[in-house]
Amino acid sequence: MFRAYINGLFPRSEDLIDVWKGLDRGLVSRDKFRDRLIDECRRVIDIQRRGRLTYIHEPQIDWDDIFRPFTGLDGVEAGPLTRFFETNTFYRRPIFKSIVEYREDYIGRFLHRELLEDYGRAVTLPGPYTFIKLSESDDEELSRASIKNIYGGLCSDLKVYGYDLVILHEPALAYFYDVDWDLSFELYKPIMGSGIEYIVHPYFGDVSDKVDELRALSPWGFSIDLAYTNIDEFTPPSNTRIVLGIIDATTTLMEDIEHLAGRVIGFRDRVGIKDIDLTNNTHLEYLPFKIGVAKVELLSRLMGVLGSG
């Protein structure tokens, strides 16, 4: 069975960028900005709904980077600008200063769940392993405890809010050759025990030789980044859900639908996996808005060609 959805932060439109800059310069009122932001969220949701994607993903256009919402919690601060892997995009490195206690309902203010009613809802969060690897602390125990607290609270909130799928961005599991799997399992414990459906989503690397560990991290499935993985040589066990990061969010080159569909069918038939999800490999925000929209439409057309499986 095929499912399709997007993941990660969506790009801001040219118009929204102008309004946002206007807000920064004091030329646009906060109310006008807020209205424009909500309009844009509706627009991003509508693009997915019209594309008949399996889940409607949170736009997350108001997240300054994937970690930023969490730097508002007591005990963690937004640190220096730091390059995000090999991209030309920078994030504020989270710095843990003291043990973070997650406050109930905290993440709600960064989500627009009221706009997602009546749909299957999905949201992307930083994966806990990538979170700890890309953050800073003088005391690793403090970071570990904080991250476990954060994810315990997050999962409870997301269940209450009614999210159906959580995509955990884990580029650190793919990009770095050496992964501390013991640490990964420890950090995933609060998520595993929450009962929430989540996908581990590594990208910026080939995880062909990390399949067993990734399966152990999530009973719901994990992703591969097709910009880094030769799908013809990738053979996972058949009794797992595989998420194909098949829409490349790092290039404006539009994929050929027939070619993609052929690769997906060929992969399914070769490895005998029934449950395959189709999505983008990384944040669509690495593309300008118009091209991000075109990539969502491409995913939708791919789903149309493949049918439900």
Partner 1 sequence: MDKQDLPILPTQEIGSFRKPGYLIDLWRRYMAGEGVEEELREAIRNASRETLRLMEGSGLDIVWDGEMHRWEMYYHPVTHIDGIEFVGRVRVFDNLYFVKGSVRDRPRLRENYHLEEYLFVKGNARKPVKIPVTGPYTLADWSYNEYYLSKWIKGEPNPVKARWRAKEELTIDIARNIINPILRDLAGHGVYRIQLDEPAATTHPDEMDIFVEAFNEAVRGVDAIVTTHICYSDYKVLLPYMAEIKARQFTLEFANRDTWSRGLGDDVRRGYSLLKEIREYSIESEIGLGVIDVHTDMVEPVELIVDRVRYALKYIDPERLFINPDCGLRTRSRDIGRRKLVNMVRAVRIVRDKYL
Smallest gap from Cβ 83 to partner 1, in A, equals 7
Closest CA to 10 of 50, 56, 52: 56
Q: Which stretch binds partner 1 (CB under 8 A): 38-46, 82-90, 107-115, 194-202?
A: 82-90
140 near partner 1, judged by CB under 8 A:
no
CA–CA distance, 300 with 261 (Å, rounded to integer): 12
22 near partner 1, judged by CB under 8 A:
no
Find where tokens 């969490």 sit: 70
Residues 181-220 binding partner 1 (CB under 8 A) are: 206
Smallest gap from Cβ 134 to partner 1, in A, equals 14
Per-residue contact string for residues 51-80; x = within reach of partner 1 by CB under 8 A: -------------xx---------------
Q: How far is CA 188 from CA 126, 127, 128, 168, 214, in A?
A: 12, 9, 7, 10, 11
108 near partner 1, judged by CB under 8 A:
no
Long-range contact pairs involving 191-198 (C-beta distance under 8 Å, separation at least 24) = 191/128, 191/151, 191/155, 192/218, 192/219, 194/152, 194/155, 194/156, 194/159, 195/159, 196/155, 196/158, 196/159, 196/163, 196/166, 197/164, 197/165, 197/166, 198/165, 198/166, 198/167, 198/168
Smallest gap from Cβ 67 to partner 1, in A, equals 12
Identify the residue among 91, 131, 151, 163 touching partner 1 (CB under 8 A): 91
287 near partner 1, judged by CB under 8 A:
yes
94 near partner 1, judged by CB under 8 A:
no
Classify residue 82 as exposed, middle or buried by CB count within 10 Å of its CB (0-12, 13-18, 19+). Answer: middle
Size of the site for partner 1 (CB under 8 A): 34
284 near partner 1, judged by CB under 8 A:
no
Smallest gap from Cβ 152 to partner 1, in A, equals 29
What residues line the site for partner 1 (CB under 8 A)?
Answer: 11-12, 14, 17, 20-21, 24, 64-65, 81, 83, 86, 88-92, 206, 226-230, 232, 251-253, 285-291
